Amino acid sequence: MRLDRLPISVLRTRYVPGGWDVLAFLLVFVFFIYCAEAARGLTGSLARLQATPISLAPSALVGYSARTALRMVLAMLASLLFTFSYATLAAKSRRAEVILVPLLDFLQSVPILGFSFTTLLFLQLTPGRVAGAELAAIFLIFTSQAWNMAFSFYHSLRSIPDEMVEAARNFQLSPWMRFWRLEVPFAMPALIWNMMMSMSGGWFFLVFSEAITVGHTTVLLPGVGSYIALAIAQRNLAAIGWAIAAMFVVILAFDQLLFRPLTASADWFRLDQEAGFTANRSWALTMIRRSHLLRFAHSAFAAMLRAGIRPVAAWGAAPPRPKGVWHSRWVDYGWYALLIVTGVAAVWRIAMFVLGEVPPAEVGRVLLYGMFTLVRVAVLIAAASLIWVPVGVWVGLRPRVASVVQPVAQFLAAFPANLLFPIVVSAIVAFRLTPDIWLSPLMILGTQWYILFNVIVGASAIAPDLRYAGENLGVRGWLWWRRVALPAVFPFYVTGAITASGGSWNASINAEVAAWGTETVRAHGLGAYIADSTAAGDFARNVLGIVVLSLLVVILNRVFWRPLYARAERKFRIS
């Protein structure tokens, strides 16, 4: 039997070769050097940093990539902390769920430029220092990662099988132990895939995170995003090529050192494993399991988990908790009334702020822009579904192909639309094309992969018994798609389509205004309106555009996507 296929408990009793310790030491040493390089100048002067121009030399991308990758990692850690706290509270508290889930729906619809005003807030926290600008960039990356992960974790917590919840209750696990022993392992497979997509979403909006212009305030941080922004402004195709190469190297490093080990370890938590199932393998995970050096970190984490263990008083079911006054219906009524009053006050405040500077006729025009963007999103989601659902099913049924497609799709999802501006803008200007049509594909460039990733997960989760039954009965062709494949992947597809739809709305800001050097083309839509108002520092029109966009996304989710998701859960999910 191969040593790398044994459980962790068995590996601890076997001889561990020292080569893995050497490799682990080298990687940890390089990681600390990388952090030192990325954090250099963090407390320096912001004026001196802004006076130092961004270099388009290929050698400069080494340091820029390090700083960008560190921002991405810190944003991912913040997103995980937010996911574990926010989504857990929403899933376990009925009163919190009433406000937290719609709020999360709203936050997911707010474009990254909608949070650009926080740049001024973070700059005021550390006046004249680089730290405030770095915090602003990390927060903007966080807003492109956290919401998707929180939704995934929330839905996983809501779908834990009742028998597993009952077992945890009978063992009288504390809330801390139940979280780490049941809830996190159960949600791990779906959460890891959404972490990969969230990381790609951070890359997609990287230019807006590192090169921000809010009115007369411009923040330009050294990084791959600002490098791309300068290369586009100077129409430097060679620099764009080097930026693509740097992105590929960093994404590949993330895949090998972070996501591959996580994906391989998540296979141990799957509930539906057929006989002869072979888990994914990762050399980094093998190194972590065999290295004495990295075992100290594992021991510390295990000790933290054991701190939440409490002795079982008696074997059997735990006694039910008595309900107090806090759980009465009148408290619910008071809570709902407070939420309604707060919502009405917020709407009134926003309306007064916007209508104080924006005429009512312009509000109607912005709603019309929203309809233009809505049509683009609907057409693009339908087209992407027709392409990627069959491809995702084919890939998901072949684990070896899925392991190859995973990093490729992750890189394509991270590919910023800005890098295609030279081709798109030049073609529109040269052939006198209509921007309203030919800028539209840029909206789906980075979000179509949510559909592909979720369909792959759904296809890989098709029960082996169902597949074998279809093969034995000779189900082929369209009948197989209609009776086996589509019902099995439909809930996963709806999840991916919801995320892709929201991402396409956000990407409209990046796609409806395209610039290459001095050439700028615009499409009529809500994204262009928000981008222009943000660049002009017009906060009233910026708020109007963001509110209209968020309102349309929330209504679309509540009227169309959520009922479709409920139908998928009720009719098509196989348990």
Contact by Cβ (8 Å): 380, 441:
yes
Q: Which CATH class is domain 24-248?
A: mainly alpha
DSSP three-state, residue 445? coil
Whole-angstrom distance, CA of residue 169 vs CA of residue 166: 5
Residue 237's identity, in one-letter code, is L
**Confidence label for 338 from pLDDT (cuts 50, 70 and 90):** confident
- The candidate with the shortest Cα–Cα distance to 445, out of 398, 511, 519, is 511
Whether 267 and 280 have beta carbons less than 8 Å apart is answered as yes
Do 389 and 489 meet the contact criterion of CB atoms below 8 Å apart?
yes
Is the confidence at residue 575, as pLDDT, over 60? Answer: no
Instruction: State the pLDDT confidence band at 215, using cuts at 50, 70 and 90.
Output: low
Q: 3-class SS at 400?
A: helix
Average pLDDT for 226-245: 88
Q: What is the pLDDT of residue 365?
A: 92
Convert 488-524 into a string of H (helix), E (strand) and C (coil).
HHHHHHHHHHHHHHHHHHHHHHHHCEEEECCEEEECC
Q: 357-575, what's its fold?
A: MetI-like fold (1.10.3720)
Q: Can you tell me the distance from the alpha carbon of 486 to that of 483, in angstroms, rounded to the nearest whole number?
A: 7
**535-570, pLDDT tens digit by residue?**
777 888 888 888 888 888 888 888 888 788 777 766
Sequence letter at residue 149: M
Please give the pLDDT value at position 301.
65
For residue 509, give both structure tokens. Answer: 């800001």
Residue in 377, 366, 544 with CA at minimum distance from that of residue 447 = 377
Tell me the percentage of the chain whose pLDDT exceeds 70.
79
Give residues with Cβ within 8 angstroms of 141, minimum separation 6. Answer: 71, 72, 75, 202, 205, 206, 209
pLDDT at 276 over 60: no
Residues 6+ away with beta carbon under 8 Å from 92? 157
Q: Distance (Å, rounded) from C-alpha 373 to C-alpha 491?
A: 26
- Identical topology for domains 24-248 and 357-575: yes
Q: Which whole number is the average pLDDT over 227-249?
A: 88
Confidence (pLDDT) at 373:
92
Q: What is the mean pLDDT of residues 66-70?
A: 88
- Which H/E stretch holds residue 274? none
- Cα–Cα nearest to 457, from 414, 420, 408, 494: 494
Q: Domain map of the chain by residue range? A: 24-248, 357-575
Q: Which of 120-129, 134-143, 295-304 has the highest mean pLDDT?
A: 134-143
Confidence check: pLDDT of 275 > 50: no
Q: Calculate ∠ Cα 102-103-109, nearest 5°.
A: 95
Residue 297 has pLDDT above 70, yes or no: no
The amino acid present at 261, given as its one-letter code, is P
Question: Is the pLDDT score of 25 beyond 50?
Answer: yes
Nearest-angstrom CA–CA distance, 229 and 458: 37
Cα separation values, 396 from 88, 186, 389, 416, 489, Å: 29, 20, 10, 26, 10
